[in-house]
Amino acid sequence: MGDPSEPPSGQYSNRRSFQASSQRGSQEASQSQDAIPEALPQMLLGQQRGSQGVPAGLPQADIRRSLGAELPEDEVWQMSQTFQAAEAAMGLMEHPELPLGFQTHAYLPDGRTLAGEHTTNLMLQQLQQGQAGLLQQLESTYRPRGSSFWSHFDSYQREDQHFKPETQHSPYPRDDPGTPWLSLSEQGFLCYSPEVPEPQPRDLAVQNAKAYLLQTSVSSDLSLYEHLVNLLTKILNQRPEDPLSILESLNRTTQWEWFHRKLDTLRDEPEMQPTYEMAEKQKALFIRGSGDREQDMEEEVADTAVPNIMEAAFHLEQAGVGLSAEESFRIYLALKQLVEQQPVHTCRFWGKILGLRRSYLVAEVEFREGEEEGEEEEGEELLEGAEALEPPGGEEEGEEDEEKVADAVPKPQWKPPPAVPKEESRTGANKYLYFVCAEPGRQWARLPHVTPAQIVCARKIRKFFTGHLDAPVVSYPPFPGNEANYLRAQIARISAATHISPLGFYQFGEEEGDEEDEGGAGRDSFEENPDFEGIPVLELVDSLANWVHHAQHILPQGRCTWVNPLQKTDEEEELGEEEEKGDEGPEEVEQEVGPPLLTPLSEDAEIMNMAPWTTRLSCSLCPQYSVAVVRSNLWPGAYAFASGKKFENLYIGWGHKYSPDNFNPALPAPVQQEYASGPEITEMSDPTVEEEQALRAAQEQALAATEEEEEDEEEEEDEDLDD
C-alpha cells in the first residue's frame, strides 16, 4: 500500500516481532497466552502513540469493551479455540483443502509463532478469504467490521461447538490418555473455507516436517507429534511453577502414563489387596458387639479389665515416647478384643518389640483366679520329653574297638547338670501371661511360660527378632526353644529390670505404710497402697530414691526364688543311691540372693560410671504441669512416667540390653577329657618284620634244640638197648 500505511504496519510488525522473538525461546503456549493480554494493551498504546490512525487494536478493543468483564475468560477461550483450531488444522494432513495459507502465516520466516492474537486475526482473514501478502492481511483485519466481524465469530463458535466430541469443562482437552482420546484429526476441524490457495514451497516444507513428526515410533504406536501434544496439554492443564526446570520429569511422566492407563473402576488393583484386607480386619475392631446397647454400655463403664491406654499414651507423649495417638487407640481396641476372647482379670499394654520383618505388640495379662492353662501343659511335656532324651545320648559313645566286643563298653562319667525347675505360674518370672500380636486387628498369640534355662541362655546371646514366633533361634550356646521362647525370656528380663513405680505406690501386704524391708528375701507380693498421695514431680526427677522396682529381680540361676538344683526330690532319691559313685560335682551350691522387692533405684549398679537411669522433666517450660520421665540406660527403650497418682511403664525397642563393650559370644566348651589310658585299651604296636623273623628264628632254634635233645635221648636209649 502507500507509505502512510507502512510505518504503522512496520511498527506493528516490529512490535510483533519483538513479541514473537520473546516467545520464540519457549515452546510453551502458556507464555504466549500470557503475552496476549500484554500484547493487546501494547497494541493499544502503540495505537495511541503511533497516530497513524491504524486501528489495529480496535477490533480487540471492541471485543474487550463489548464483552465487558467476561472478556478475559472469553478471550482466553477464543485464543484457546484458535490455538486448538490451529492444532486441529495442523493435524489434518488428510484434508488438504484446509487453509494452507493459514499455515503459511503460522510459519512465517520471521519466526512468528502461533500467538493468539495473531491467529485471531488470521482466522478472520481466513474467513474473509484473505490474500497472501502480509500487509493486505493486516489491512483487511483493520477494517472494523462490526457485525460481519461478529457474525463470523459467531459462526466460528457455533461450528466449533458443533464439532466438539464432548462437553468440556475446561478449555483444554484432557491430557490423560485413559479415556479414548480422539486424535486430533477427529476432534473436528473447526474452520474450513471453500477456497484453498495453491500450496507454496513453504507449505511443502511444513508438510514434510509434519509428516516426519507424525511418524510412529518403532517400539510403540506413539509418534513424537502426539507425545509433544500430550506433554503440552498436560503442562497447560496443570500449570506447574517453573515448568522448564521439570521438563524432563514431565516428559517421562507423560510417556509413562501413555502406556500405563488407569484400569477401569470395576476391578481392584491387585497390589493393594493386602492393604484392603488389613483395613477390613481393623474395621472389625471398631464395630461394637451385638446385644442390648444400654446394657452393654453400663457394663462396660462399670467394670472393664482394659486400662486407660489413651491416658497413658497422652502422658508418655509429653515425654516424647510412644506410638502415635491413632495407633494407641487401635491398640486399645485390640486389647478390648483380647479381653473378650480370654478370661482376663487385668491386662496392660506392655510395649512393642521391633523385629526384622514384623514387630510385636505385647500385652501383659493376668488371668482370673482358677483359670486352667491347658496349652501350657502340652508345652511342658514336649520340653521335658526333649530333655529326657539328651542324657541317654551320651551313653552311646565309646564304640571304639570292634575287636573288644567282649569287653564292656566304658560308660561315660559325664552327667548333665540337673535342670532347674521352672517357676510356677503366677509367681516370680511367670507372674503374668503375655500375649503378642503383630498389628492391632490380628489374632493374639499366647507366649509360653519361661524356664530358667531359657533365661540363662538368653543372657548369653544377642539376636534380633524376626517377627515370626516359630522362627528358630540359631546361636551358641544353643537356645532351648524358638523365637517365642526367646521373646518371652527377653520380656521377662526387661520386666524384672525396668518395671518401676514411685516410692509408696506399692507396699507390702502385712505392714501398712511401712516401707522398710525386714528379711526381704522372702517377700514376693505387694499390694497397692490406698493412702498413696503422690510425690511431687520435681522430687521424682531429682532423686532416684523415690522410685522402686516392683518386679522381682531374676537371680543368676534364672529364677526369682532360689532353688537348690542338687536337692534330691523324692523321685531322684531312688536313683541317687545307685549313682552315688558317679557324683563328681560339688555338693554345695551357694544360695543366690538378689535385691529384695521394692528396692529403690538408687541401689542399682552403675554401668561404666554412668547412672543406669536418666530422669527428666517432660517440659521445662511448664514445670507445674509436666510429668517426670525416667529412662533406662541399661535397657534402651524402657520408659516410665509418673504424675500425681498415676504412673506407667512402657517398653518400645529392639529388646536387647545395652552393653558398652562389644558382644563376646560364649566360647565353645572345653574339649572333653579323653578316657584315661590304661593297659586294657592301650593299643599295642604290631611286631615288625625283623622282630617276627627273630622270633621265628628263636622258635626254630628252640625247636631244633628240643629235637636234638630228643635225638640225643633216643640215641642214648638206643645205646642203652645195644648194651
Give the count of alpha carbons within 13 A of 620, CB side only.
2
Specify whether the CB–CB gap between 323 and 652 falls below 8 A: yes
Binding status of residue 706 toward other proteins by CB under 8 A: no
Binding residues for other proteins, rule CB under 8 A, total 60
Binding status of residue 655 toward other proteins by CB under 8 A: no
Instruction: Fill in the per-residue mask, 493 to 512: x = in contact with other proteins (CB under 8 A), - = not in contact.
Output: --------------------
Specify whether the CB–CB gap between 305 and 335 falls below 8 A: no
The footprint of other proteins on residues 87-146 (CB under 8 A) is none
Piece of the chain touching other proteins by CB under 8 A; list 167-175, 285-293, 460-468, 522-530: 460-468
- Report the C-alpha gap between 359 and 443 in whole angstroms: 14
- Report the C-alpha gap between 260 and 133 in whole angstroms: 48
- C-beta of 16 vs 234, nearer to other proteins: 234
Of 21, 66, 253, 443, the residue at the interface with other proteins (CB under 8 A) is 253
Piece of the chain touching other proteins by CB under 8 A; list 217-225, 312-320, 387-395, 680-688: 312-320
- C-beta of 103 vs 618, nearer to other proteins: 618
Of 132, 211, 246, 697, the residue at the interface with other proteins (CB under 8 A) is 246
Binding status of residue 608 toward other proteins by CB under 8 A: yes
- Report the C-alpha gap between 428 and 602 in whole angstroms: 23
- Report the C-alpha gap between 487 and 473 in whole angstroms: 10
Of 62, 159, 203, 327, the residue at the interface with other proteins (CB under 8 A) is 327
Binding status of residue 249 toward other proteins by CB under 8 A: yes
Of 614, 693, 699, 701, the residue at the interface with other proteins (CB under 8 A) is 614
Binding status of residue 318 toward other proteins by CB under 8 A: yes
- Report the C-alpha gap between 340 and 343 in whole angstroms: 7
Specify whether the CB–CB gap between 123 and 191 falls below 8 A: yes
Q: How far is the CB of 616 from other proteins (least distance, A)?
A: 8
Give CB contacts under 8 A, 24+ apart, made by 394-399. Answer: 398/675
Binding status of residue 654 toward other proteins by CB under 8 A: yes
Rounded to 5°, the CA angle 552-556-562 comes to 65
Q: How far is the CB of 654 from other proteins (least distance, A)?
A: 6
Binding status of residue 463 toward other proteins by CB under 8 A: yes
Binding status of residue 286 toward other proteins by CB under 8 A: no
Over its C-alpha atoms, the chain yields an Rg (Å, rounded) of 49
- C-beta of 255 vs 529, nearer to other proteins: 255
Binding status of residue 649 toward other proteins by CB under 8 A: no
Binding status of residue 278 toward other proteins by CB under 8 A: yes
- Report the C-alpha gap between 488 and 469 in whole angstroms: 10
Binding status of residue 240 toward other proteins by CB under 8 A: yes
- C-beta of 496 vs 627, nearer to other proteins: 627
Specify whether the CB–CB gap between 564 and 529 falls below 8 A: no
Parallel/antiparallel/unpaired status of strands 646-653 and 628-632: unpaired
Of 69, 605, 621, 689, the residue at the interface with other proteins (CB under 8 A) is 621
- C-beta of 202 vs 358, nearer to other proteins: 358
- Report the C-alpha gap between 617 and 350 in whole angstroms: 22
Piece of the chain touching other proteins by CB under 8 A; list 85-93, 277-285, 424-432, 714-722: 277-285
Of 620, 677, 682, 688, the residue at the interface with other proteins (CB under 8 A) is 620
**Phi and psi torsions of 350, nearest 5°:** -80, -40
Piece of the chain touching other proteins by CB under 8 A; list 75-83, 169-177, 413-421, 615-623: 615-623
The footprint of other proteins on residues 356-375 (CB under 8 A) is 356-359
- Report the C-alpha gap between 250 and 613 in whole angstroms: 54
- The H or E element that residue 483 is part of is helix 483-498
- The H or E element that residue 526 is part of is strand 526-528
**SS3 state of residue 480:** coil
Binding status of residue 148 toward other proteins by CB under 8 A: no
Piece of the chain touching other proteins by CB under 8 A; list 100-108, 239-247, 362-370, 392-400: 239-247
**SS3 state of residue 647:** strand
Q: Residue 569, Cβ neighbours under 10 Å: how many?
A: 9
Q: Which residues touch 18 (CB under 8 Å, ≥6 apart)?
A: none
Judged on CB neighbours under 10 Å (0-12, 13-18, 19+), 306 is: buried
Specify whether the CB–CB gap between 228 and 255 falls below 8 A: no
Binding status of residue 697 toward other proteins by CB under 8 A: no
> Quick one: cell of 535?
510425690
Q: Which amino acid is at 256?
A: W
Piece of the chain touching other proteins by CB under 8 A; list 221-229, 354-362, 386-394, 411-419: 354-362
Binding status of residue 354 toward other proteins by CB under 8 A: yes
**Interacting residues with other proteins (CB under 8 A):** 240, 245-246, 248-250, 253, 271-272, 274-275, 278-279, 281-282, 317-324, 327, 352, 354-359, 439, 441, 462-464, 467, 608, 610-611, 614, 618-622, 631, 633, 636-637, 652-654, 656, 658, 660-663, 665
